[in-house]
């Protein structure tokens, strides 16, 4: 009984702080693209997903310098929003999407950082994105077009002969 008078409040307080901590614990983060193999002129989305103890991540700020694309989100939200945000120490699935827009042909290094209010990274994922040219429609050569025309002509002539025989 004496043990519980001193230890129980400490244990209860410790558990409460652990469960309501605004610190993020991330697990199984992945950065993907939609479509997975984009072509030039097609909108590209970056998709960050995984499990996190608090899924209140702000939309990212996107910067592009050459072929380096950086996305930066913050966690937890600003201190003004923190009192309304409760982060339980339970991993919850989340998905965040960012529109990278129309990208020209090239190879890009895309990094999505989720930082805390002190600008320290909580999550950092980097992937390479390759944007290709649209596949050209194969053009037929002159020889294959001439062969196709001769085949159609031969079939037409055979049908005409067959029609004339039926009349006679």
Domain that residue 62 falls in = 2-131
The answer to the question of residue 151 being in a domain is no
Q: Lay out the sheet containing 68-74: strands in order across.
A: 61-65, 68-74, 106-115, 121-131
CATH number of 67's domain: 2.60.40
pTM of this prediction exceeds 0.75: no
- Is 99 a residue whose pLDDT tops 90? yes
127, part of any domain: yes
Across all residues in the chain, what is the average pLDDT? 78
Q: Pick the range with the lowest mean pLDDT from 32-41, 64-73, 85-94.
A: 85-94
What does the pLDDT look like over 142-154, one tens digit per residue?
777 778 888 898 8
User: For residue 40, what is the DSSP state?
Assistant: T
DSSP secondary structure of 61-86: EEEEETTEEEEEEESS--TTTGGG--
Q: Mean pLDDT over residues 107-118, rounded?
A: 90
pLDDT score recorded for residue 11:
56
């Amino acid at each position: 009984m004496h043990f519980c008078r001193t230890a129980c409040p400490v244990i209860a307080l410790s558990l409460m702080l652990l469960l309501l901590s605004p610190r993020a614990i991330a697990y199984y983060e992945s950065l993907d693209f939609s479509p997975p193999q984009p072509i030039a002129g097609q909108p590209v989305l970056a998709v960050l997903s995984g499990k996190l103890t608090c899924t209140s991540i702000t939309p990212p700020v996107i910067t592009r310098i050459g072929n380096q694309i950086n996305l930066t989100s913050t966690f937890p939200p600003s201190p003004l929003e923190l009192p309304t945000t409760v982060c339980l120490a339970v991993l919850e699935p989340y998905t965040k999407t960012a529109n990278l827009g129309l990208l020209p042909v090239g190879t890009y290094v895309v990094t999505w950082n989720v930082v805390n209010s002190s600008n320290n990274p909580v999550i950092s994922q980097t992937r390479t994105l390759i944007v290709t040219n649209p596949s050209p429609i194969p053009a037929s050569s002159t020889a294959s077009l001439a062969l196709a025309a001769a085949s159609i002509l031969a079939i037409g002539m055979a049908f005409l002969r067959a029609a004339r025989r039926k009349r006679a």
